[in-house]
Homo-oligomer: A and B are copies of this chain.
């Protein structure tokens, strides 16, 4: 049979992007010639670095596509868990640099072994892929019993989020031992990464749920234009940005906050928020804008000015009422109304087929990162409940998860090394 020599993605693409050359011949396999051209051009040809003080995929300018997966660890062996985390890290190192997990072809010396990579990203560039891991409370203890010898390592804050007023959570979409967030500019690259990590976990962890997303709804860098959510509004204008002076304080766990293993890490909140778009779409523009607190077109606050104008919650109109209604989402979520609490949002739009009632099942997969879960809890408590944020009428929270994301890894480190190393 012809043309069976295993190729790497980098080899197929030629030398695309700095730092890729060494990896492209990883494993010592021969590189064959093909007539392949990249299937899709990569707007960000240089891969995002995997290693660092912090994990990538948090402050990284938000890529446009998401595949988020939550897994349950099925082994109770600490050694197997550590082995899994090491294998995952090795795979993530390769995947984020635009390489396969291993060879996608016959494994040298073991032709009956299945390929080490599933192959569907062959010919595609790194596409800005980042992979970010977090650990749920249930990885540390379950039913009151410690797991993996981690009982004492659980940060006091790492507990299931409280049930907020109006939550209608589905148990199968809530909680979970491990979350992995894959963000990329090409969904095939994000899906390929998650699929191969799931495959590696076989027998040790299984999928609890997974969610695809598109159209990042929160810029995480001042260099990015603000995208729109499925209510049609710009979302994330006032988000914490990686350029902000206080970003470290908002996002990263500091020495003394809790267990040392989390220093340089962050807490991840993930919630699937279904949107009642068919009801929303029947609301007049003025009503929609009063609910959000911003103009739909420009994204400017109703207190005046363009999208990035300062929000003036105290400014009143000729009728004496605040121009930004006190029940608007902008007002309710504003740091001034939440004891200064801020979070880094990183959510994505989704459509999950049909609601079974003749409408699209659409919404926002909410993701936020913060130094302490308390930041999110404080804001969400203020938003939640039918008598509060006017937006609640159009939202149903279906899933909820809190995960402790460890700091980044060094050249020979592995995900969770500070916890389990």
* B residues near A277, Cβ cutoff 8 Å: 118, 195
* B residues near A212, Cβ cutoff 8 Å: 212, 351, 353
Chain A contacts with B in 199-232, Cβ cutoff 8 A: 199, 202, 206-212, 214-215, 225-232
Q: Are B211 and A2 in contact (CB under 8 A)?
A: no
Q: Are B211 and A353 in contact (CB under 8 A)?
A: yes
Query: Bound state CA distance, A214 and B7, in angstroms?
Result: 24
Q: Are B286 and A106 in contact (CB under 8 A)?
A: yes
Given that A295-B3, A297-B6 are known contacts, is A214 also in contact with B195, CB under 8 Å in the complex? Answer: no
Query: Bound state CA distance, A7 and B123, in angstroms?
Result: 40
Chain A contacts with B in 333-354, Cβ cutoff 8 A: 349, 351-354
Q: Are B289 and A34 in contact (CB under 8 A)?
A: no
Query: Bound state CA distance, A212 and B66, in angstroms?
Result: 14
Query: Bound state CA distance, A387 and B260, in angstroms?
Result: 59
Q: Are A232 and B351 in contact (CB under 8 A)?
A: no
Given that A2-B302, A105-B285, A360-B210 are known contacts, is A229 also in contact with B120, CB under 8 Å in the complex? Answer: yes
Q: Are A228 and B123 in contact (CB under 8 A)?
A: yes
Q: Tell me if A359 counts as interface (CB < 8 A to partner B).
A: yes
Q: Tell me if A284 counts as interface (CB < 8 A to partner B).
A: yes
* B residues near A112, Cβ cutoff 8 Å: 284
Q: Tell me if A321 counts as interface (CB < 8 A to partner B).
A: no
Q: Are B286 and A359 in contact (CB under 8 A)?
A: no
Q: Are A228 and B122 in contact (CB under 8 A)?
A: yes
Q: Tell me if A282 counts as interface (CB < 8 A to partner B).
A: yes
Chain A contacts with B in 227-272, Cβ cutoff 8 A: 227-233
Q: Are A119 and B198 in contact (CB under 8 A)?
A: no
Q: Are B1 and A289 in contact (CB under 8 A)?
A: yes
Count residues of A near B (Cβ-Cβ below 8 Å).
98
Q: Are A323 and B1 in contact (CB under 8 A)?
A: yes
Query: Bound state CA distance, A2 and B298, in angstroms?
Result: 9
Query: Bound state CA distance, A277 and B355, in angstroms?
Result: 26
Q: Are B210 and A119 in contact (CB under 8 A)?
A: no
Q: Tell me if A45 counts as interface (CB < 8 A to partner B).
A: no
Chain A contacts with B in 282-302, Cβ cutoff 8 A: 282-286, 288-289, 295-298, 300, 302
- State the oligomeric state as a number of copies: 2
Q: Are A295 and B35 in contact (CB under 8 A)?
A: no
Q: Are B2 and A232 in contact (CB under 8 A)?
A: no
Counting chain B CB atoms within 10 Å of each CB, the highest count among A215, A304, A323 belongs to A215
The interface bits of chain A over 176-196 (1 if a CB of B lies within 8 angstroms of the residue's CB, else 0) are 000000000011100100110
27 contacts between A and B (CB under 8 A): A2-B302, A32-B297, A35-B307, A39-B225, A39-B226, A40-B64, A72-B358, A111-B286, A114-B282, A115-B232, A115-B288, A118-B277, A120-B228, A120-B230, A120-B231, A123-B228, A172-B356, A187-B187, A188-B227, A195-B351, A202-B278, A207-B355, A207-B359, A208-B354, A209-B354, A210-B354, A212-B351
Residues of A within 8 A of B (CB): 1-7, 32, 34-41, 43, 64-65, 67, 69, 72, 104-106, 111-115, 117-123, 172, 186-188, 191, 194-195, 198-199, 202, 206-212, 214-215, 225-233, 277-278, 281-286, 288-289, 295-298, 300, 302, 304-308, 323, 349, 351-356, 358-360, 362
